[in-house]
Amino acid sequence: MIGTWLREATVASYFLAVARVWLGYQWLMAGWGKVAGEFSAVGFLRGAIANSQGERPLVQAWWASFLENFALPNAALFEFMIAWGEVLVGLGLIVGAFSLLAVFFGMVMNFSFLLSGAISVNPQMILVSFILLSGSRNTGLIGLDRWIMPYLRARLTGRH
C-alpha cells in the first residue's frame, strides 16, 4: 500500500523530492569538506581494523581483513573515491539526476561506514535511502530524471 503510493502518487513525488534533496545535501556537505580540506582515511581505517579485535569486536574479521589488506594499502584511492563519491552522490540527489543510482552508491558508502564501526548518521541516511528506492521512478520525477530517463529509455530501445 505505502509502496504503491510512493511509486504512483503525484503528491508522493513532492515528498520524495524533499527527502532526496535533504539526503543529497547531507552527502554534498560531507564530501565537500573532504574535497576542500585535508582528508585522510588512514586513521579511520586503522581504527576500524583495531575494532575487529577483542571479546566483542565492532568490526567483523572478514571486513577488517579487506580493510587491512586492500583498503589501507590503497588509502589514497579510497580517499579520492570517498570524497568525490560523496560530492557526486550529493549533487545527483539534489538535482535529481540518476537519482536511484546515486541512492544506491550512497547506500554502498553508508554500509561500508557501518561495517567499519561508524554509526553516526548512517542508519538514518539508509532509512531515507530505502524510502527513496521504494519510490522508484517517482523519486526523480521532480528533478532532471524527468527528462533524462525517458531520453535514455528511448535511446536504448531505439525509439527516438
Burial 117-148 (b: 16+ CB within 10 A, else e): bbeeebeebbebbebbebbbebbbbbbebeee
Burial 7-25 (b: 16+ CB within 10 A, else e): beeeebbebbbebbbebbe
Query: pTM of the entire structure?
Result: 0.92
**Cα 44 → chain centroid:** 18
Of 31 and 157, the structure prediction assigns the larger pLDDT to 31
Average pLDDT over residues 52-58: 94
* Residue range 71-87, pLDDT digits in tens: 999 999 999 999 999 99
What is the average pLDDT value for the chain, to the nearest integer?
95
pLDDT, residue 83, reads: 98
* Residue range 11-27, pLDDT digits in tens: 999 999 999 999 999 99
**Cα 121 → chain centroid:** 12
pLDDT, residue 155, reads: 87
Cell numbers given for 54:
577483542
Cell numbers given for 127:
532509512
* Residue range 97-138, pLDDT digits in tens: 999 999 999 999 999 999 999 999 999 999 999 999 999 989
Q: Residue 137 carries which DSSP code? A: G
Q: Residue 1: pLDDT above 70?
A: yes
Cell numbers given for 105:
552508491
